[in-house]
Structure 1
Amino acid sequence: MNDNSRSTQALDRTFDALSSLHRRRVLLLLSDACPEVGDAPSLAELAPDHTDYRRYVTTMVHKHLPKLAEYDYVDWDSDEEVVRRGPCYGEVAVMLELLVDNRERLPGAFS
């Protein structure tokens, strides 16, 4: 596989990770743009206030966190129920920074 193919795959992973509001929220909460959250937020801290918590946990644990962990954007500790930045978080952090910096110009809800 050449460097161009690897770069394209990394960009595709980034867009896939950011395509879900739930995943964007997790990634944003792990960013420097959100200092009020510690470096390892719990699943409860990640949940939006207006959500059905049981449904949210099920969706996060079975869909969104595994996808982010597969891409190495997060480390999900299911025993402690905390999320930390993964070894490849830097790949998505660049795009998050662009989104945060241009939030007012973007259509719809960002997080």
Structure 2
Amino acid sequence: MLDALSNRYRRRLLVALLEHNPQEDDDPQVPDDVTSGNENLEELMVQMRHSHLPKLADAGFIEWDQEMNRIRKGPKFEEIRPLLELMANHSDELPDDWL
């Protein structure tokens, strides 16, 4: 779980899934909840597709349908939920780039 949460984009995606399931997008863009607006979006999309999404899918925290560009909670999402809720509930106490 800590490995999955070690990257801010993975943290943001997982926290976004607390309220929004599934995340769908016809246009290959990262949900607004995941980006802060300062990143190079094209580079971030490459990182998400080749690193972050596969890692979260392999851990079972998300299900990722690459063809439909759909992300939803995975079979192990409930295992990480308490940590995500703790972070979301105390986001004002965390560093600015944490969530």
TM category (shorter chain) comes to: 0.7 to 0.9
Closer, same or farther in 2 for the Cα pair 1:68/1:38, shift >3 Å? closer
Counterpart position of 1:41: 24
Q: CA deviation at 1:65?
A: 0.4
Q: Could you tell me the TM-score, scaled by structure 2's length?
A: 0.82
Q: How many residues align?
A: 94
How big is the alpha-carbon RMSD for the aligned residues of Structure 1 and Structure 2? 1.8
Residue in 1 that maps onto 2:97: 109
- Does residue 60 in structure 1 map to residue 48 in structure 2? yes
Which structure 2 residues correspond to residues 9-88 of structure 1 after superposition, within 5 A? 14-32=1-19, 37=20, 39-42=22-25, 43-46=28-31, 48=35, 49-88=37-76
- Alpha carbons 2:62, 2:75 under 8 Å: kept: yes
Q: In structure 2, list runs of 5 or more residues that go unmatched.
A: none
1:38 Cα offset (Å) = 5.1
Question: RCO higher in 1 or 2 (8 Å CA, sep ≥ 6)?
Answer: 2
**Post-superposition offset of 1:45:** 4.2
**For the pair shown, which has the larger CA radius of gyration, 1 or 2?**
1
Identity %: 30
